[in-house]
Structure 1
Amino acid sequence: MIKDFIKNIKNNQKILISYSGGLDSTVLLYQLIPFIKQIPFLKLRAIHINHQLNTQSFSWAQYCRKICKKYSIPIIIKTLHIQTKNNIQETARKLRYKIIAEHMLPDEILVTGHHSNDQCETLFLSLKRGSGISGLSGILQKSFFNKNKKIIRPLLNISKEQLETWAIKKNINWVEDDSNYINKYDRNFIRNKIIIPIQKRWPYFIQNCIRSMRLCYDQNIAINYFLDQIIHDISLFTDTLNISKFYIYPKAIQILLLRRWMFFNQKHHISYNETKNIYNNIITTKNQNTINRINIKNISIQKYKNNIFYIPKHQNIKNRILFWFDYYKPLKLPNHLGYIIQDQYGMLLPKPNTSDLINIRFQLYENIRTDIGETTRKNFWQKNKIAPWNRNRIPILFYNTKLIAIMGFLVIKNQHTYTNTWRLSWIDFII
């Protein structure tokens, strides 16, 4: 069942199996055990999460410990403390993955026993939520959770019936969780009251569901390919979308473009209702000189002239002053704004005197003198196309209280008191 998975593992691969003791994770464990002996570099560990939702849960944990000890597999056993009584299964799932992520080693991948019946149940849950084509694509065989933790589901194309037949043939025991028959949980209701009766009438129903989900997945990939091309053509930066060309497309495509652009920035999909809210209150407004804004959780979406901006909410640093005492070391800026470093590639600047206090500020206090004369702060930012909400996020270099440079934009001329020069760069990260 998992030969294709084993073929693709790399040398010294570390694998963590989510082991509940139930049928699916037990079959997966026993499928992996022979390969541990055949492939010496394969490192396998198990993790068991006790949800404390069943009176037998502690005995299941001990059973899993016993099986892992028998086959010399290290096992981590952790206990969940679920406080809420609402949506228990979803809460347990989130807590479970949070604990798993905390215990994964670097470069370790998580494997789970999800099978095709789980996939079909997920389809019905997506229909219940009114999901679009992305939600109807189902569970991916390979994906990531907790930002950068890799998860693989080697049994996703195998049915529960096939797993059970294999386990019985091999005389393998597993834990039976009687809570799987409590139909107050959505997934259990779908499994017991919908899918099982349908399967009795149409035995190939699950396979056909899987086929439909694959078609949705393929179509979603194709749609996103063309959306990405359009976004690339009309965006200068990932967090800035030029919407002047939006209006040549039908409304439905405009909404899809907006949702895809939001995904680039958030790394997860927002709901269609949230997308429509942004569309109706940001995209469709015609006044070019007013700032329209919508707040969603920890971000703000703002429209200014022909652009919309994705703006994470940050601490106000308008009045912040950072002193750079040891300029041989990078100066870390607040709010994930990167670093100021001394290097050979940056802006050519007058070098401070030994008595000067080098400091970075995020606010201009006076008009600016350039090569062509004096300009106001507002005119300077407008000329450089810096939106109003970003104007206090640009690092500004001072020696004592003397303005020296606006990093990335301007060096103040006529600095007669400085004889030497140096170069400074404003960078995103340090390698």
Structure 2
Amino acid sequence: MDLYSRFCRQIAELGSRGELLVAFSGGLDSTVLLALTARLAREQGRSVRAVHIHHGLQAVADSWPAHCTRVAASLGVVCQTLGVQVTLGPRVSLEAAAREARYRALAGAMRPGELLLTGHHQDDQTETLLLALKRGAGVEGLAAMPHIKPFGPGWQLRPLLGWSRRQLERFACIERLSWVTDPSNADSRFDRNFLRNEVLPGLVARWPAFNQTVARSAELCAEQAELAAELAEQDLPGLVQDHRALSIPGLQELSPARRHNALRHWLQAQGVYCSRLQLHTLWQEVALARDDASPLLALGERQVRRYRQRLYVVAGAAVPRPCAGLAADSWLELGVGRLRLAFRTGDVGLDPALDLGRLHIAFGAQGGRAHPLGRAGSRPLKKLWQEYRIPPWQRERVPLLFDGERLVAAVGVFICRDFASRPGEPSWQLEWRPND
């Protein structure tokens, strides 16, 4: 079966019928991809367009947008050029920064439901897996690049993963395609280039089927990663409690491997990624710390803390911002979250007769008492925090809504009885979106 027929079958197997957007760098891989996609679009009556990302990192690349426009036009495709700003950060390589800028621009260029096609091939897959090995990655990293995944407002497809660069080059020569060559690809100071130029040629010379066997390993790792995710989906509902806290006694009932899997997926669901060593530290020095300790582990901009045999992810850098005067239907940025007052019929809310001009938000008020709605009497705030299981570090982040000197509500925790509306009547509803 020729490359085009295999390409059509690959697209069909991925079950994709949306509009097509090709990421077109002008290099060999994306040029072959655009030629195949343009032919498929013509024969199937589908819409296709191309986007070229100009990074502005080298002078030679300034001529590539015009080249991409010409090549795309010769294939009957419109090509749009988008310039990006590549920003380096601490411990971020130029490769990673450029990739981040490129994918951010591609996601922004996509239309809802559109399919982004990228020209990654079998050699790229091998390089990605070897780089993951260098980092000491687990099965998720060793799964390398999937054929299809959600991306932006649509999906990203890699329909060329089954072909080697040599096969793509042979096709391009037969079809007399024209492509550009990035001179930076020869610079083996970059990790991926080092593998491509110095390592893989020797491996493939010794073992010609090396790329294919690596691809099979990546697919097996992808299956294992999927199984691990399914196992976490079974375990976590019984472990996750109020405020997305994770039960330590529940984790102790699991085997070490299963416990690590549940912990890792719980963290990732909250945007926190950690190494195996950090995961071990989290369990030994936070979860299993002595009872009278207040342990924490910093993971980037987040912290993992323990309270009453539960683990919490906390936005460590958040600083509460008090607010004087509230307005209806406007989101207030309070540093630790967003708050809005909306007047409508719903759950029991705040008394509709409240004067919004007298209301203000404070944080960390010490002492005082409150009588929450539904409770038999008033209690000191300190006792209420304990009864509502609010961790000590979280108490400073709970917005306290006051009418003058009187506490109206601890937002997200309770409403004081004297300021509550009657059931079923329109009232001021507190909409709270905490950062944690």
TM over 0.5: yes
Q: Is the aligned partner of 1:94 residue 2:100?
A: yes
Q: Root-mean-square deviation (CA), in Å?
A: 3.2
User: Equivalent residue of 2:289, what SS?
Assistant: coil
The one-letter code of the counterpart of 1:399 is D
Match of 1:320 in 2: 322
Distance in 2 (alpha carbons) for counterparts of 1:172 and 1:355: 68
Contact 1:343/1:425 (<8 A) preserved = yes
Distance in 2 (alpha carbons) for counterparts of 1:183 and 1:369: 68
Match of 1:19 in 2: 24
Distance in 2 (alpha carbons) for counterparts of 1:131 and 1:122: 11
Residue 303 (structure 1) aligned to one of 280, 302, 306? 306
Match of 1:342 in 2: 343
The one-letter code of the counterpart of 1:29 is L
User: Equivalent residue of 2:52, what SS?
Assistant: strand
Distance in 1 (alpha carbons) for counterparts of 2:397 and 2:184: 53
Summarize deviations over 1:171-200 as a string: whole Å, max 9, x none.
Answer: 222223344333332222212332222222
Match of 1:399 in 2: 403
Match of 2:139 in 1: 133
Contact 2:400/2:411 (<8 A) preserved = yes
The one-letter code of the counterpart of 1:130 is G
Distance in 2 (alpha carbons) for counterparts of 1:346 and 1:362: 25
Q: Is the aligned partner of 1:186 residue 2:191?
A: yes
Deviation at 1:160, TM superposition (A): 1.7
- The 5 A counterparts of 1:221-236 are 221-236=226-241
Match of 1:67 in 2: 71
Deviation at 1:312, TM superposition (A): 1.5
Q: Is the aligned partner of 1:114 residue 2:120?
A: yes
Change (3 A) 1:386 1:203: same
The one-letter code of the counterpart of 2:35 is Y
Q: Is the aligned partner of 1:9 residue 2:12?
A: no
Deviation at 1:66, TM superposition (A): 1.7
Deviation at 1:212, TM superposition (A): 1.0
List alignment gaps of at least 5 residues for structure 2. Answer: 1-5
The one-letter code of the counterpart of 1:173 is S
TM value normalised by structure 2: 0.84
Change (3 A) 1:415 1:201: closer
Change (3 A) 1:42 1:208: same
User: Equivalent residue of 2:345, what SS?
Assistant: strand
Deviation at 1:354, TM superposition (A): 5.7
Change (3 A) 1:140 1:25: same
The one-letter code of the counterpart of 1:300 is Q
Distance in 1 (alpha carbons) for counterparts of 2:316 and 2:87: 30
Match of 1:171 in 2: 176
Match of 1:251 in 2: 256
Match of 2:359 in 1: 358
Distance in 1 (alpha carbons) for counterparts of 2:355 and 2:225: 60
Deviation at 1:58, TM superposition (A): 2.7
Match of 1:47 in 2: 52
The one-letter code of the counterpart of 1:424 is W
Change (3 A) 1:238 1:155: farther
Summarize deviations over 1:63-109 as a string: whole Å, max 9, x none.
Answer: 21221233341321536667799943333323333343444445444
Summarize deviations over 1:311-362 as a string: whole Å, max 9, x none.
Answer: 1235422x6134224x3x3554533345332222222543325696234444
The one-letter code of the counterpart of 1:93 is R
Match of 1:76 in 2: 81
Distance in 2 (alpha carbons) for counterparts of 1:424 and 1:343: 7
User: Equivalent residue of 2:266, what SS?
Assistant: helix
Distance in 2 (alpha carbons) for counterparts of 1:259 and 1:127: 19
Moved more, 110-119 or 98-107: 98-107
The one-letter code of the counterpart of 1:377 is L
Contact 1:323/1:358 (<8 A) preserved = yes
User: Equivalent residue of 1:56, what SS?
Assistant: helix
Summarize deviations over 1:200-227 as a string: whole Å, max 9, x none.
Answer: 2322221111111111111121122223
Q: Is the aligned partner of 1:220 residue 2:225?
A: yes
Change (3 A) 1:330 1:204: same
Deviation at 1:148, TM superposition (A): 6.0
Distance in 1 (alpha carbons) for counterparts of 2:66 and 2:356: 68
Change (3 A) 1:77 1:305: closer
- The 5 A counterparts of 1:408-427 are 408-413=412-417, 422-427=426-431
Change (3 A) 1:384 1:82: closer
Distance in 1 (alpha carbons) for counterparts of 2:414 and 2:79: 59
User: Equivalent residue of 1:373, what SS?
Assistant: coil
User: Equivalent residue of 1:244, what SS?
Assistant: helix
Match of 1:367 in 2: 369
Moved more, 365-374 or 216-225: 365-374
User: Equivalent residue of 1:44, what SS?
Assistant: strand
Contact 1:240/1:309 (<8 A) preserved = yes
Change (3 A) 1:285 1:3: same
User: Equivalent residue of 2:297, what SS?
Assistant: strand
Query: How many equivalent residue pairs?
Result: 418
The one-letter code of the counterpart of 2:16 is I
The one-letter code of the counterpart of 1:299 is R
